[in-house]
């Protein structure tokens, strides 16, 4: 059997993965908070842990892997969206869940074995909180129930920091009724305008951290194999999950292996709405970027390193996939190549696996290419068909590039650069980066490319090239 090695965030070492029960390998991954579209940063853990799910199924058998990815459908962000729009909370969460399923399917992600909604597990959360109170790990204050962080001697093991080194207020909620600034909310009161459930502590709703502990225990038990998520969740969310789960059920170990994917940049910068580079999965799909292309770009960087979404990577991924699909067209898949399996088994080394796929393509081994790519969720029939069409923007950009080259040549002759400036401004407004060297012009479509705006650039007779 293939030996899988994974870098455990808890021990900070790459370790041989030995499941608690080879007949039921269990993995939990933090899923979406459903109030808006999934952005590219949300897509990365979806693709990373889907690839791990595929590897585990390949090694242990599809019927012997249980993958749980939760849905957070009770949250203050959802409440705020409902208040802002006047829509019922359930309508917002149902719609957003549908969007999430559509977008993740477009990325080639398999459905998890279980996808629990937090609102379906409120009784389990109440039971877990009651157990923490009974063991002295929680207390009531000002209508809230809070976890007593310093009651758990191993708090900080995951993040590598002791409670004394943690800065109150950096990523914790400070309140005068806390015994300690690090203590976190397990249950909080709800007024009539907010969703709430009856509990021994009054009508209220759960804190964020408690839901994952309750759902993981319900579906995977008190000890399971792998817990995954983005690096931004390591502290405080995952640290708090460990503390409350271990204290409520000390006979269990909760998750044995912790995996965290690094963050995503867009064209070298942190993605944010203020920078104008905030990109959702749906934005890309609506602009004609195939989900398979998005997936290959995300897999092109090791999950433990930051990845940068760039248009150059998008174009290269599209070209690669067109070549691979053409080479494998009409062929039946063979067996996965050992080099691809070995790369994935080595801490999910997707860049090495992709290099092995390039080698298979170069060797003309289409059947092995098909089977091996499927382990990465690529070249599947479900994601195919897009490659039959011409690249969405190549012809249009080529035409506009020629117009700009001709306009610049005219301007050099006449010393009138008005048309050059007009074309550059229009291209920039349409989301195209214009790079003008001494002898060449390069147009690079950015993440906010607007093809309709490109088509609206004032038509007219293209200036003739100057002699």
Q: What is the pLDDT of residue 170?
A: 54
Is the pLDDT confidence value at 139 over 80? Answer: yes
Is the pLDDT confidence value at 33 over 90? Answer: yes
- Mean pLDDT, the chain, rounded, equals 92
Do residues 221 and 364 both lie within one domain? no
Is the residue at 422 inside a domain?
yes
Q: Indicate the number of domains in the chain.
A: 3
Q: What is the pLDDT of residue 465?
A: 40
274-300 pLDDT per residue, tens: 888 899 999 999 988 999 999 999 999
Do residues 240 and 269 both lie within one domain? no
CA distance 1 to 17: 12
Q: Quick one: which of 273, 262, 221, 211 has its CA closest to 36?
A: 273
Do residues 272 and 331 both lie within one domain? yes
The band of 464, judged by pLDDT with boundaries at 50, 70 and 90, is very low
Is the pLDDT confidence value at 398 over 80? Answer: no
CA distance 258 to 260: 7
Do residues 253 and 282 both lie within one domain? no
Minimum mean pLDDT among 80-94, 187-201, 361-375, 431-445: which range? 431-445
Last residue of a domain, one of 337, 362, 388: 388
Is the residue at 70 inside a domain?
yes
209-236 pLDDT per residue, tens: 999 999 999 999 999 999 999 999 999 9
Write out the two tokens for 330: 């009409």
C-beta separation of 430 from 422 below 8 A: no
Do residues 215 and 243 both lie within one domain? yes
Do residues 248 and 146 both lie within one domain? yes
- As beta bridge partners, residue 144 has 141
Q: What is the pLDDT of residue 52?
A: 98
Is the residue at 158 inside a domain?
yes
Do residues 224 and 202 both lie within one domain? yes
3-state secondary structure at position 306: coil
The band of 443, judged by pLDDT with boundaries at 50, 70 and 90, is confident
For residues 61-86, one letter each, b for 16 or more C-beta atoms within 10 angstroms of the residue's C-beta and e for the rest, the string is: eeeebbbbbbbbbbbeebbebbeeee
Indicate which CATH number applies to the domain containing 154.
3.40.50.620
Q: What is the pLDDT of residue 273?
A: 85
Last residue of a domain, one of 230, 261, 292: 261
Do residues 158 and 30 both lie within one domain? yes
Give the mean model confidence (pLDDT) for residues 41-54.
98
Is the residue at 130 inside a domain?
yes
Starting at the edge strand found earlier in the chain, the sheet holding 184-189 runs 138-141, 144-147, 184-189, 204-206
Q: Which domain holds residue 450?
A: 394-455
For residues 158-191, one letter each, b for 16 or more C-beta atoms within 10 angstroms of the residue's C-beta and e for the rest, the string is: bbeeeeeebeeeeebeeeeebeebbbbbbbbbbe
Q: Quote the pTM value.
A: 0.85
Is the residue at 4 inside a domain?
no
360-382 pLDDT per residue, tens: 999 999 999 999 999 999 999 99
Percent of the chain at pLDDT > 90 equals: 80
Last residue of a domain, one of 261, 278, 298: 261
Give the mean model confidence (pLDDT) for residues 462-467.
38
Q: What is the pLDDT of residue 446?
A: 66
Question: CA distances (Å), 285 to each of 280, 326, 444, in order?
Answer: 9, 22, 18
Do residues 101 and 52 both lie within one domain? yes
Q: What is the pLDDT of residue 402?
A: 83
- Please tell me what DSSP assigns to residue 301: S
Is the residue at 31 inside a domain?
yes
Do residues 240 and 187 both lie within one domain? yes
Task: Return all residues near 94 (Cβ < 8 A) that are at least 6 apart.
Answer: none
57-67 pLDDT per residue, tens: 999 999 999 99
144-186 pLDDT per residue, tens: 999 999 999 999 999 998 888 875 445 556 688 899 999 999 9
Do residues 399 and 360 both lie within one domain? no
Give the mean model confidence (pLDDT) for residues 260-268.
95
Q: What is the pLDDT of residue 467?
A: 33
Q: What is the pLDDT of residue 401?
A: 84
Is the residue at 5 inside a domain?
no
Do residues 353 and 433 both lie within one domain? no
Is the residue at 183 inside a domain?
yes
């Amino acid at each position: 059997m293939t030996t899988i090695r994974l870098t455990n965030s808890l021990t900070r070492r790459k370790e041989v993965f030995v499941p608690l029960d080879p007949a039921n390998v269990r993995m939990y991954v933090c899923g979406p908070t459903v109030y808006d579209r999934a952005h590219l940063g949300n897509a990365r853990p979806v693709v990373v842990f889907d690839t791990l799910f595929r590897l585990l199924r390949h090694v242990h058998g599809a019927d012997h892997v249980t993958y749980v990815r939760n849905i957070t459908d009770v949250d203050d962000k959802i409440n705020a969206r409902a208040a802002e729009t006047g829509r019922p909370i359930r309508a917002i969460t149902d719609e957003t869940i549908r969007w999430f399923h559509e977008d993740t399917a477009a990325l080639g992600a398999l459905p998890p074995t279980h996808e629990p909604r937090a609102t379906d597990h409120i009784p389990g959360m109440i039971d877990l909180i009651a157990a923490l109170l009974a063991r002295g790990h929680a207390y009531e204050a000002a209508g809230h129930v809070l976890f007593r962080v310093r009651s758990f001697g191993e708090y900080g093991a995951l993040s590598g920091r002791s409670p004394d080194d943690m800065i109150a207020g950096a990523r914790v909620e400070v309140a005068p009724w806390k015994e300690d600034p690090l203590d976190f909310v397990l249950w909080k009161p709800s007024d009539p305008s907010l969703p709430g459930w009856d509990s021994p502590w009054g009508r209220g709703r759960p804190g964020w951290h408690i839901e994952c502990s309750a759902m993981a225990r319900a579906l995977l038990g008190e000890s399971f194999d792998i817990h995954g998520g983005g690096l931004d969740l390591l502290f405080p969310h995952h640290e708090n999950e460990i503390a409350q789960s271990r204290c409520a059920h000390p006979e269990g170990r909760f998750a044995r292996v912790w995996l965290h994917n690094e963050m995503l940049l867009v064209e070298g910068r942190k993605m944010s709405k203020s920078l104008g580079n905030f990109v959702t999965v749906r934005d890309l799909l609506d602009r004609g970027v195939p989900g398979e292309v998005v997936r290959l770009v995300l897999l092109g960087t090791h999950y433990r390193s930051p990845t940068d979404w760039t248009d150059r990577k998008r174009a290269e991924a599209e070209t690669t996939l067109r070549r691979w699909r053409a080479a494998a067209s009409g062929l039946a898949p063979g067996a996965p190549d050992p080099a691809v399996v070995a790369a994935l088994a080595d801490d999910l080394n997707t860049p090495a696996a992709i290099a092995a796929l390039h080698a298979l393509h170069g060797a003309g081994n289409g059947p092995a290419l098909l089977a091996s790519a499927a382990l990465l969720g690529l070249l599947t029939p479900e994601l195919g068909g897009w490659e039959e069409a011409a690249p969405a923007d190549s012809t249009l950009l080529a035409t506009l590039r020629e117009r700009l080259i001709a306009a610049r040549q005219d301007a050099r002759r006449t010393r009138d650069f008005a048309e050059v400036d007009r074309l550059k401004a229009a291209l920039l407004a349409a989301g195209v980066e214009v790079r003008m060297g001494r002898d060449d012009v390069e147009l690079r479509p950015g993440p906010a490319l607007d093809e309709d705006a490109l088509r609206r650039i004032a038509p007219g007779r293209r200036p003739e090239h100057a002699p």
